[in-house]
Amino acid sequence: MSYGLTVINDSSVVSIDSEYARLCVFHKGTYTANVGITFQNVVTTQEPPLVFIRPQNNGAFIQLGLTLGGSAGAWAGATVVSGQAHSGEIFVAAFSSKPITSYGLRMWDADSKQIFDSGTQAVIFTRAVQNWSYTHTTYSSQGLPTNWYAITLNYALGDYLMINNARMPMMGANNETRSGGLRYDFASSVLRFSVTTVSNPFYFSLQAIFGKIAV
């Protein structure tokens, strides 16, 4: 940038910039599957916020999904959807900021959008994994194929999984809609993703994105 403020950390990485918003925390706490939560701060971005969870290790199998409450400019809550009873930790983040502190540093961009408040916690992306391995295919009673993929879980790293794409419809090269599903398989120490469609290609490279709150 030609003017403004840039803060570079000890690793020579830009941590604050007066032209770009950081990914900041709007809500953090715990969740229970299929029980709605209300955000501590309404997310005022047009795009949906990013939801990161860390379910408790129950040694079994957890299916995941997500629904968001509110609308563009006023995202107010979320529900972690699952076919299994479980709970865990959650945080919700967006590329924006809220006026939280009564003193410190606050910045706005050229469009008068607040992009930094020194009292708002930032989120860092820790991993983006897409080396899924195809494991097997199952078939419904109507003969509809579901392809299954897996990656190593690495739960001990302590980061959180972004679940916005847990049930996101996908489009294959054959222009057929592919429905997906994301699951923690603690017993096998893997994350599993399933893809279902009529003519199911085996190629799959959706990223599993992880992050944690900066400290």
Q: What is the pLDDT of residues 47-101, one digit of tens each?
A: 999 999 999 999 999 999 999 999 999 999 999 999 999 999 999 999 887 777 7
Query: What pTM did the predictor assign?
Result: 0.86
Q: Name the DSSP letter for residue 2.
A: -
The CA radius of gyration of the chain, in Å to the nearest whole number, is: 19
Residue 13 has a pLDDT of 65
* Confidence check: pLDDT of 1 > 60: no
What residues contact residue 10 under an 8 Å CB cut-off, 6+ apart?
none
Asked whether 81 and 65 are in contact (CB, 8 A), the reply is yes
Q: What is the pLDDT of residues 109-157, one digit of tens each?
A: 777 777 777 778 889 999 999 899 999 999 988 888 899 999 999 999 9
pLDDT band at 171 (very low <50, low <70, confident <90, very high): low
Residue 197 has a pLDDT of 80
